[in-house]
Structure 1
Amino acid sequence: MKKILSLLTSLTLVLCLLSPAASAETNKNPDPSKGKSVHVQIVLFDGFDLLDALAPYEVFAAAGMYTGGKVTVELVSAEGKRSVPSGLNGPALDAQDVLDPDHSGIIVVPGASGKPAGNTSDAIPNILRQAKDTGLTTMMKQAMNNKEVTVATVCGGSLLLAMDGLLKDRYAVTNQLGMSALGALGAIPVDARIVEDGSRLVTGGGVTSGLDVALYLVEREVGPQIANAVEKLFEYERRGTVWQANGIPPINFGTSQDTSRKEQPSALEKKVEK
């Protein structure tokens, strides 16, 4: 009996000695978001959608407040510092600087605000083409080749990139009205609120998805505590699962996502080959 008690006492002492060590070891695991600084550039162009740009701006600005300035955000344009009119005769915002595709961090490209279709100057397809002709997509191509830059789009921002072939064979989403066009431009449209293709391309669906895209990037870059604080401040909870091309694919029951994938079978095959 004494031997058993002695063994139990020894075992207890060993466990007591090991537990703090194990706890200390757990606490040593580095948090990659601690001490990290993130700079965000939100691109403006004539006819941009106001909410596409301002919703992410407010999220990142709030994250900057809660991190003590570790997240910074600015409005930029391809032409540099200027007043940029939003779509549908909306108010203008001032671009603070020229877009810098070589600056590490995040670049957000909004969509346009206007008529969904048509040949008038205020039709969204024409607004996006005019933005493309400013040299914006050339700069975005440079940014997408930079491993230190994450490119994010809101609503029709993905269409703008796709117009210059920048989303060829890439999973992406846009406003539901533009999903067919997105596929026709070479992207692989996915019916999801947010789509992440790799670690450096994040696309959002309709106009309000700018909140969700920005909150996801805040969580990814500086951690869930900051993202939660911003959500509490805005009294808004992020919507939607972030779709990624990994894990177990769902059984085909003829859902809209399966249909959107079938629109680009050759692109999907190329994606798998990669």
Structure 2
Amino acid sequence: MTNSTTRRALLRGTVATAALAAAGTATQGGAAHAGAAAAGAAHAGGADGEQRDGGAGPEIGILLYDGYSLLDPTGPAEVLSRLPGAHVTMIAERRGPVRTDTGDVAVLAERSIAEIDRLDVLLVPGGGNRGTIAAMRNKELLSWIRRIDRHSRWTTSVCTGTLVLAAAGLLKGRQATTYWASADYLRSEFGVTYLPQRYVRSGKIITAAGVSAGLDMALYLASQIAGETTAKAIQLAVEYDPQPPFDAGNAAEADPQLKELALRLLAESQV
């Protein structure tokens, strides 16, 4: 893979433009906490009949690398951290703050990859052109992803994180999705069957399309881990009821001028 080829073919990044927020009175917060605790204590199996493992929740690790897109890890973290008994950890090559593709925000990685050798769920986010390319070429990072995948129950990605999974050799012969502008690259460089869907499951691997699709993927994953009813309750808890002011989020329906502007805005916002 040449540098010039990669930079021509690979998406020039993604950007997170939304964040979840919640507010409530102390009384409401206490009641919600008590209700969640009671629900967790009573929950012995998923609504779909799946039996939980002795009541213990999943260990979920979210990889951070310099230049990731903010909503890619934080959106799914908001959803998955609400699973009964779940433990979500941000992980990077080294402990400490890791900056996004815009350089404006940093998220704290509490563990390094050297400290983590087993996870129930691994999530690899996407990022800007610089961050994604660097992650795809980082042999230590790719080796760690492969090691974790050998024992994970689920291996997942958001946006151009799919390209990182592909670079690690995990998508050979599989169907997957990614950010719309990276679809041709995913097909031509890695021979992956691209499906233009919000998320795609292929065995234990679930890939999500661009940025906001990570929320949809996380809710689907929550249903597989804890049952549909719990996943629906989490969706209500975070009030995920998207009603955007514009019908402009589907690349298949966008005109070339809007696509060009979208990619230019992304590129100009990144460092």
TM-score range normalised by the length of the shorter chain = 0.5 to 0.7
Larger radius of gyration: 1
Q: Is the 8 A contact 2:61 2:119 kept in 1?
A: no
Task: Report what 2:211 is aligned to.
Answer: 207
TM-score, normalised via structure 2 length: 0.66
Gaps of 5+ in 1: 1-28, 114-123, 240-255, 257-274
Q: What is the CA distance between 1:237 and its match in structure 2?
A: 5.0
Equivalent residue number for residue 259 of structure 1: none
Helix, strand or coil: the match of 1:145? helix
**Structure 2 equivalent of residue 76 of structure 1:** 91
Aligned to 2:82, the other structure's residue is in SS state: helix
The one of 52, 62, 71 equivalent to 1:33 is 52
* Cα shift at 1:144: 2.3
- The aligned counterpart of 2:142 is 137
Q: 1:101 to 1:73 in 2, by over 3 A?
A: same
- Equivalent in the alignment of 1:179: 183
TM-score using structure 1 length: 0.65
Cα deviation digits, residues 245-266 of structure 1 (max 9, x gap): xxxxxxxxxxx8xxxxxxxxxx
Contact 2:63 2:125 in 1 (8 A): yes
CA apart distance, 1:195: 0.5
Please say if residues 143 and 149 of structure 1, whose CA atoms lie closer than 8 Å, have aligned partners that are also in contact.
Answer: no
Q: Give 1:150 deviation, angstroms.
A: 1.1
Give 1:36 shift: 4.3
Alpha-carbon distance between aligned partners in 1 of 2:213 and 2:94, rounded to the nearest angstrom: 26
Query: Matches of 2:229 and 2:186 in 1, distance apart?
Result: 35
Deviations 1:170-197 (A, max 9, x none): 1110011111011112211112111000
1:47 aligns with 2:67: yes
Name structure 2 gaps, 5 residues minimum.
1-47, 244-251, 253-271
Residue by residue over 1:175-229, the C-alpha shift from the partner in whole angstroms, topping out at 9 and shown as x without a partner, is 111110111122111121110001x100001110111111111111011222111
Cα shift at 1:167: 1.4
Q: Percent identity?
A: 28
Higher relative contact order (CA 8 A, sep 6+): 2
How many equivalent pairs are there?
Answer: 193
**Letter of the aligned partner of 1:53 in structure 2?**
P
Residues of 2 paired with 1:237 and 1:187: CA distance?
32
Q: Which runs of 4+ in 1 moved over 4 A?
A: none
Work out the CA distance in 2 between the residues paired with 1:30 and 1:216: 16
| 237 and 106 in structure 1: CA distance in 2 versus 1, 3 angstrom threshold | farther
Distance 1:132 1:101, change over 3 A: farther
Aligned to 1:196: 201
- 1:58 aligns with 78
